[in-house]
Every structure is written in C-alpha cells, then in structure tokens.
Structure 1
Amino acid sequence: MKVLIVYAHPEPESLNGTLKDFAVEVLKKEGHSVKVSDLYAMHFKAALDGEDFPDRTDKEKLVIPKEQMNAYEKGTFSPDIAEEIEKVKWADTIIFQFPIWWSSCPAILKGWFDRVFAQGFVVDLGKGRLFDKGFLAGKKALISVTVGSPKELYTKYGINGDLEVHLMTLWHSTLEFTGIENYDIFYIFSASSMDDKRVKSELERFEKVLKNLK
C-alpha cells in the first residue's frame, strides 16, 4: 500500500511529530511505501491566490474554480501545488496528522486543502463528479489528532461541543465530498498533560490502528 502522511505541526519534538515518525516506522515495517508532506518544514504557502496560476485564463479577474480547472487540465499549477497533487494521486491512503487548534485543524493544513484539492482534480461540480463519483474515489483517509483538553469537554454537552461535529467539514464536506473513504478518527485527548507511560500506551493504540489499514 502507498501511504501519504500530511503532517501539520511546527515542532518536530511534539507529540504530533512523534506520532508522524512512529507511523512512518510502523508502516514501513509492514511493507508499505510512505511519503510525508511536512507542511511547516516545507514552508507550504497556505493562502490560495493568483500566484497559484502562472498561466491565467483571465488576467483581470480571478475566478478560482475556472483557473483551477484550467491549471489542472494544462498542468500549469505552481510547482508546490503540482508536487502535492502528484503525491495525492500516488497514495492509496492519506493520513492527516495534526493538533486541534480552536476546534479545527491548523491554518496551514486548511490552506493545503484549499490549494491542492482543486476543482478538476478532486471533483467536477458541473458534471456531478462528487462524493462516490468524485475523482478520489477508491482512496482512504485516516484523520489522527491530538487534543489538549480532556474528552469530556468535547462531547455533545461539553463546553467545547462535539469534536466530531467540528471536524465534519473535514471528514465529510472535504474528504467524502471528493470520494475518499474515511477510517474512524484517531483521537488522543488530554495531550498536554501526558507522561511517558501514557505516551507509550497511546503509541501502542496507534500501532494497532496503523496495522489495520488496508
């Protein structure tokens, strides 16, 4: 299996960094091919703008869907987008590893979706190519997140609300929208107060998830 890990955390020694490195190790031992997009290390540009389209069809007005369709058809995206598109094409499974910040993903990861999940590549709204007819149908994704707060704060009646509902825009409105099938989300709560014993326990739990990817 070919696995792409899209990793969004600025600190390599963080728990997210540990989970990313651990995933690479486990997956390779299982015989899988692995590529990593370390967005902060890559200094990945988060803002979708006109610079993404060197060969604009309209120099006066930027219409994003039209320019994305044109750039994908002609292969004229900016190099950083083109490289990530090739990684997504290559992958059978994509793991998204990130911390929960303000009940969502870091801005750099949202920017990755804005720029890489381009119309024409992942969907074609005009032709109804979305959800099970989306261009990424057949691929799978695992969302793996760390949360600083205890789980009870992110339940339906917790003060922060249901985290799965917060993440619905990612797992449903983004990933499933393009045809990707999701594994169950892997959560680590109370990540800001973990000792070494609990880190070891969580890595063991994560290992079981990784070994069950198919």
Structure 2
Amino acid sequence: MKTLVIFTHPNHQSLSYAFLQEVIRGCKDNANIEEIKVVDLYEEVQPGTRLNESKRRRDMHIDPSLAKYRDQVKWADKIVFVYPIWWGRPPAMLLGYIDQMFASGFAYKEKGGLLPEGLLKGKSVVCVSTMKGPTYYPLFWLNNAHKVLMRKALFQFVGIKKVKFFEFGSMESPKGRQGEKLQKVYRYFKTVGR
C-alpha cells in the first residue's frame, strides 16, 4: 500500500506535527505499507488559487505547476490528512490545496446528471485533526460540519468512499490525554490495511 500524507500546520513544534510523526512511525512499522510520501503544505504549496484570463479553474487539471501533486494523488492508495481544526473547519491552506488538486478533469468529471463521476475510486482517506474545543463540540454545536464537508462534499464527490476520522478535542487542556491519543494514531497506522 502506498501512502501519501498531507500535513497542514505552520509550526513544527505543534501537536499536529507530533501526530504527523506518529503517522510516519506507524506507517514505517507496518509491513502492509510499502512506501510513504509526505507533503508539508506550508513548505511546498502556494496557499490559494489564483485565476485570471489565462489561468482558468476549468484548466486546473492540466496546470503544469500542480503536476507533481496530481501524480502523488494518483500514486497513493491511502491519503492521510493531518491538520488542526480552526473555526470549525480545516485551515485555509488545506482548503486551498483541495481547491487546486480536486479539480474537474482530474478528481471528477461531469456526466450530465445530478452528480459527477468520481475519478479517485479505490483510494481511502484518513483525517487526523486536533482542536482546542471539546471533542463533541463540532457534532452538537456545528452539526458535524467538518466531517460532512470532508466526507460528503469532498471525498464522496470524487469517488472515495472509505474515510476514517481521528478528531481529537481538548488538545490544549492539561487533561487532554495527548500522549494516549498519539499512541492511538501510531497503533492504527502500524496495523492498518487497505
């Protein structure tokens, strides 16, 4: 299994970075994972979509500046996203990557009906996210907006049906059990299959 990890946090001293390290460590200790690639969005990718007369959204699937990242997504069997939840959603940097990468002609194609055909079928996704607020805050206060956005508005739209979430709340609290949650992520990636 080939695994692509998309890391989105500007601080390499952050808890999100510690989760990234446990994802990598678990993948390296898993015989089912033959190769892992990591993309640090704050280090590598332009933050937003810039469109004009010569660079149109409908042509993003052939944008040469994104070819490397399209190849990574095609290559991967499993895509792992590691990010904090800010304002009830992923950081703008991750949403900018999604805007650019999951474009028509690459991630899906229109077929004239209500829904398009997803072109990323057969892949699986894991989202590892942290937040300051309580774990159940997004579920009860925001109607699960984060998971609905990621699972339905994005991944199912492009054909990815297998999506798992690790959504850890109270991560700035001394009682947040950060070490226990880091170990949970490590154990998952050490044993996960396709």
TM-score by length of 1: 0.80
Other-structure match for 2:150: 170
Deviations 1:145-185 (A, max 9, x none): 101111243332xxx423x3333122111111101123331
Q: Which amino acid aligns with 1:41?
A: E
Alpha-carbon distance in 2 for matches of 1:14, 1:3: 22
Aligned pairs, number: 191
DSSP-derived class of the 1:26 partner: helix
1:153 alignment partner, one of 137, 158, 169 = 137
Alpha-carbon distance in 2 for matches of 1:104, 1:85: 23
Alpha-carbon distance in 2 for matches of 1:183, 1:126: 24
Q: Which amino acid aligns with 1:104?
A: R
* Identity value in percent: 27
Other-structure match for 2:57: 64
Q: 1:129 to 1:116 in 2, by over 3 A?
A: farther
1:88 alignment partner, one of 73, 76, 92 = 73
- Could you tell me which runs of 5 or more consecutive residues in structure 1 were left unpaired when the two chains were aligned: 52-57, 72-76
DSSP-derived class of the 1:115 partner: helix
Alpha-carbon distance in 2 for matches of 1:142, 1:198: 21
Deviations 1:49-71 (A, max 9, x none): 237xxxxxx64xx6422x235x2
- Could you tell me which runs of 5 or more consecutive residues in structure 2 were left unpaired when the two chains were aligned: none
Pairwise CA distance, 1:127: 5.4
Correspondence list, 1:26-41, <5 A: 26-31=26-31, 32=33, 33-41=35-43
Q: Which amino acid aligns with 2:37?
A: K
| Contact 1:104–1:166 under 8 Å retained in 2 | yes
Alpha-carbon distance in 1 for matches of 2:156, 2:115: 8
Q: Which amino acid aligns with 1:150?
A: P
Q: Which amino acid aligns with 1:208?
A: R
Relative contact order, CA 8 A, sep 6+: which one is greater? 2
TM-score by length of 2: 0.88
DSSP-derived class of the 2:108 partner: coil
| Contact 1:130–1:178 under 8 Å retained in 2 | no
Alpha-carbon distance in 2 for matches of 1:145, 1:137: 23
Q: Which amino acid aligns with 1:148?
A: K
Correspondence list, 1:1-214, <5 A: 1-31=1-31, 32=33, 33-42=35-44, 44-50=45-51, 59=54, 63-65=56-58, 67-68=59-60, 71=62, 77-79=63-65, 81-126=66-111, 133-156=117-140, 160-162=141-143, 164-194=144-174, 198-210=177-189, 211-214=191-194
> Which structure: greater helix fraction?
1
Q: Which amino acid aligns with 1:24?
A: I
> Which structure: greater strand fraction?
2
- RMSD over aligned Cα atoms: 2.3
